[in-house]
Amino acid sequence: MLEIKCPWCGPRAQTEFSYAGDATLTRPSLDTATETEWYEHVYLRGNPRGPHDELWHHAAGCRRFVKVRRDVTTHEIIATAGPHEHLGGGGK
Amino acid sequence: MADTSPMQSALNGIAQPGDFGADQPAGPGVTITERQGLQILHVAGDIRDAEFPSQVRHAIGLPLPMSAGETRASQGTRVLWLGPDRWLVATEDALPALSDAAAVNDVGQGRLVLRLTGPRVRDILAKGCPLDLHASAFPTGHCAESLIGHIGVTIDCTADETFDLYVNRSYAAFFWEWLTRAAMEYGYRVLPAG
């Protein structure tokens, strides 16, 4: 089981969280994005090896979203932050 | 606002007063009492709004706890930190009138509140809770929202060997089953609701 450090609650068990998707996505512009851009935003994901930024929801705790940089091969959690904060360099 | 007529316990027909489980010469490992008649409010607001904390403080007579797991208490009233913008107010008194500076929901009729007290209470809860419940990590006056037996529970350590658990009412029967089975090996006493 992972231990995820919630920026508000401190270290908590993974079971208190639910995975909430890729944190690197940027929503296309409602006014100008093409159908292809929307298709890519909604359906297409990279599958990078190594550190990856993802969102987790502290569903059984403070109910906040948390940005987590996790190495998807080792499960090491490198950094966590609030959903609008930057995790620093190194991730993708 | 709130309907103050007596509400049927969520444990009606499920919990019976008495001594159960292993016979302990030194007394039961835990004593369980359902706390009835509590008024419970869920309060949400933005602490950057200067009006909000001061108005809540004025209404409930206690400052909002601002750090994780912190509680504030006065006679009959407890305020629990649930998140950076959410608090739980549980009081035996009349419902405090809170202004529109806060988003207030009366959740009293949606919660089962159990008071657990006894020398084995931490051992029992630890069977189904991922938190460190040792007294050094979860002391008196500390609270947390977490999971017990896979369901969301608000945990409030009100005294050294005493915990108040706030469980969603619809999970009452399941949680009672989990709790009593976990307590079986230490022996448990059920007191009439009060």
Which residues of chain A make contact with B83, given a CB cutoff of 8 A? 8, 61-64
Same domain? For B154 and B99 the reply is no
A9–chain B Cβ distance below 8 A for any pair: yes
A8–chain B Cβ distance below 8 A for any pair: yes
B9 falls within a domain: no
**How high is the pLDDT of residue A89?**
55
Chain mean position to CA B83: 15
Task: Decide if A28 contacts A44 (C-beta within 8 A).
Answer: no
Same domain? For B46 and B129 the reply is no
Residue B182 burial by Cβ neighbours in a 10 Å radius (0-12, 13-18, 19+)? buried
Same domain? For B158 and B130 the reply is yes
The amino acid that residue B78 corresponds to is R
Same domain? For B93 and B112 the reply is no
B10 falls within a domain: no
Whether A72 shows a pLDDT value over 70: the answer reads yes
Q: How far is B28 from chain A (nearest CA, A)?
A: 30
A12–chain B Cβ distance below 8 A for any pair: yes
**How high is the pLDDT of residue B8?**
86
The amino acid that residue A69 corresponds to is R
Has the ipTM of the complex gone over 0.85?
yes
pLDDT in tens, B102-160: 899 999 999 999 999 999 999 999 999 999 999 999 999 999 999 999 999 999 999 99
Residue numbers of the domain that contains A3: 1-26+48-92
Q: What pTM does this model have?
A: 0.92
Mean pLDDT of A53-76: 96
Q: Checking DSSP bridges between strand B162-168 and strand B151-159, what pairing results, if any?
A: antiparallel
Least confident of A26-40, A53-67, B90-104, B109-123: B90-104
- B interface toward A at CB cutoff 8 Å? 68-69, 82-84, 86, 130-131, 144-147, 150, 152
A40 falls within a domain: no
pLDDT in tens, B68-95: 999 999 999 999 999 999 999 999 988 7
B167 falls within a domain: yes
Report the domain count for chain A. 1
Q: What's the CA dihedral at A60, B2, B115, B59 to 10 degrees? A: 80
Same domain? For B112 and B184 the reply is yes
B114 falls within a domain: yes
Whether A35 shows a pLDDT value over 60: the answer reads yes
Instruction: With CB atoms and an 8 Å threshold, state whether A60 touches B152.
Output: yes
Whether A77 shows a pLDDT value over 60: the answer reads yes
Residue A65, SS3?
strand
Residue B109, SS3?
helix
H helices within chain B, ranges in order? 51-60, 121-126, 172-183
Task: Decide if B172 contacts B36 (C-beta within 8 A).
Answer: no
The percentage of chain B sitting over the pLDDT mark of 70, rounded to a whole number, equals: 96
A15 falls within a domain: yes
* DSSP-derived secondary structure letter, A86: -
CATH of the domain at B64: 3.30.70.1520
B93 falls within a domain: yes
Q: What are the two backbone dihedrals, phi and then psi, of residue A56, each rounded to the nearest 5 degrees?
A: -125, 145
A35 falls within a domain: no
A38 falls within a domain: no
Count of A-B CB contacts under 8 Å: 39
Instruction: With CB atoms and an 8 Å threshold, state whether B83 touches A10.
Output: no
Mean pLDDT of A10-31: 95
Which residues of chain A make contact with B152, given a CB cutoff of 8 A? 59-60
| Nearest CB partner across the interface for B68, out of A10, A15, A59 | A10
- Mean per-residue pLDDT over chain B, rounded: 93
pLDDT classification of B51: cutoffs 50, 70, 90: confident
In our burial notation (b when 16+ CB lie closer than 10 A, e otherwise), range B10-39 reads bbeeebeeeebbeebeeebbbbbbbbeebb
B151 falls within a domain: yes
pLDDT classification of B190: cutoffs 50, 70, 90: very high
To test the contact with chain A by mutation, choose from B85, B146, B165, B168 the residue with the greatest count of A C-beta atoms within 10 A, namely: B146
**How high is the pLDDT of residue B5?**
58
B4 falls within a domain: no
Report the domain count for chain B. 2
**How high is the pLDDT of residue B6?**
64
Encoding tokens for residue B46? 């933005």
d(CA B161, CA B123): 11
A16–chain B Cβ distance below 8 A for any pair: yes
**How high is the pLDDT of residue B128?**
97
CATH of the domain at B181: 3.30.1360.120
**How high is the pLDDT of residue A3?**
96
**How high is the pLDDT of residue B92?**
93
Residue numbers of the domain that contains B93: 39-106
| Nearest CB partner across the interface for B130, out of A8, A15, A63 | A15
Mean pLDDT of B24-39: 94
CA angle B73, B74, B76 (to 5 degrees): 100
Helix (H) or strand (E) segment spanning residue B74: strand B71-74
**How high is the pLDDT of residue B102?**
86
Same domain? For B167 and B86 the reply is no
Same domain? For B98 and B131 the reply is no
CATH of the domain at A79: 3.30.2270.10
**How high is the pLDDT of residue B4?**
56
Nearest partner of B152 among B172, B132, B133, B168, judged by Cα: B168
- Token look-up 């007596």 returns B6
Q: Could you tell me the sign of the dihedral formed by the alpha carbons of A46, A49, A55, A56, in that order? A: positive
Mean pLDDT of A10-37: 95
Same domain? For B163 and B184 the reply is yes
**How high is the pLDDT of residue B95?**
74
H helices within B93-133, ranges in order? 121-126
Same domain? For B46 and B140 the reply is no
Same domain? For B129 and B93 the reply is no
Nearest partner of B180 among B13, B15, B8, B12, judged by Cα: B15
Nearest partner of B20 among B30, B10, B11, judged by Cα: B30
Chain mean position to CA A60: 17
* DSSP-derived secondary structure letter, B178: H
